[in-house]
Amino acid sequence: MRTAHAVAAGTLVAVVSVLGAPAGAVSPTTSAPRAVLTVQVATSASRPAVVERVVVGHSRKGREIVAYRLGDPEARRSAVVIAAMHGDERKPQAILRNLRDGSPISGLDLWVVPNANPDGVARKARRNARGVDLNRNFPRRWKASKRGPTWSGPKAASEPETRAMMRFLRKVAPDQVVSFHQPLYGIDTSGTGNRPLARRLAKHLRLPKRSFSCGSGCHGTMSQWFNHRLDGQLVTVELGRRPSKAYLTRTAPKGLLKALGGTRP
């Protein structure tokens, strides 16, 4: 995903590129193209932190899943931050939007995906349009389950949203990933142990370190897949049910950047 071209101020360059294989699912409602469109945007006055915008895939209903690259692509450290994989856990989106729409970031190659489940968000529902819990659909310790709030889908990685995130994470291969959820209030240390990233997140996001077991044991979660498959570390962060506006727009963006190793004025 690293791009070599410099973009002159005021220009807009569109490059069509394919992030791995196209998602195989056919959208029932649209004929959205499956090729991944990369649009490299010049730094603009309205969003000075954004250096690249990538459509990483489409939802089952054909909605775009967008990643924004912020900060310094040449930085030593890289990170991906994801929100709203469960569409009824939308508060953390404000943290990512604050970073996206704020001042330029330095010291970190940071990607944010503010809406990992656009169909769920549109319906204010946990699952995607097919009724699958995307955080049980990843191909690591995937297990069949009954239809319901945590339905894992008909098979591992059956959902276009899951495959889009897998392609994107494989391509970027970030050192650090943070996946935001609600409302369990804590930094999940169950899959990660007490590693430095979890400690830093707990300190700077002012949340307790806890162990979340997914109820009856975790199967097919993004953190299980990523932490097994890729050479980085994914930590799940659960905010409370009603984080304050001050927390979402000041404390958390600042704390998240600090935990990941970036700065902004």
- Of 58, 97, 181, 254, the residue at the interface with Zn ion (CB under 5 A) is 181
Which CB, 51 or 82, lies closer to Zn ion? 82
HEC secondary structure over the chain? CCCCCCCCCCCEEEEECCCCCCCCCCCCCCCCCCCCEEEEECCCCCCCCEEEEEEEEECCCCCEEEEEEEECCCCCCEEEEECCCCCCCCCCHHHHHHHHCCCCCECCEEEEECCCCHHHHHHCCCCCCCCCCHHHCCCCCCCCCCCCCCCCCCCCCCCHHHHHHHHHHHHHCCCEEEEEECCCCEEECCCCCCCHHHHHHHHHCCCCEECCCCCCCCCCCHHHHHHHHCCCEEEEEECCCCCCHHHHHHHHHHHHHHHHCCECC
Which CB, 60 or 86, lies closer to Zn ion? 86
Which CB, 85 or 108, lies closer to Zn ion? 85
CB of 135 to Zn ion, least distance (A): 6
Query: Does residue number 69 form part of the binding site for Zn ion (CB under 5 A)?
Result: no
Which CB, 193 or 215, lies closer to Zn ion? 215
CB of 120 to Zn ion, least distance (A): 10
Binding residues for Zn ion restricted to 11-40, rule: CB under 5 A: none
CB of 164 to Zn ion, least distance (A): 18
CB of 9 to Zn ion, least distance (A): 39
Alpha carbon distance 66, 55 (integer Å) = 4
Of 16-24, 48-56, 82-90, 223-231, which part binds Zn ion (CB under 5 A)?
A: 82-90
Alpha carbon distance 47, 101 (integer Å) = 5
Which CB, 49 or 169, lies closer to Zn ion? 169
Which CB, 38 or 117, lies closer to Zn ion? 117
Of 10-18, 47-55, 177-185, 240-248, which part binds Zn ion (CB under 5 A)?
A: 177-185
**CB-CB contact of 232 with 81 (8 Å):** no
CB of 209 to Zn ion, least distance (A): 18
Binding residues for Zn ion restricted to 88-147, rule: CB under 5 A: 89
CB of 245 to Zn ion, least distance (A): 21
Query: Does residue number 86 form part of the binding site for Zn ion (CB under 5 A)?
Result: yes
The residues that touch Zn ion, with contacts defined as CB under 5 A, are 86, 89, 181
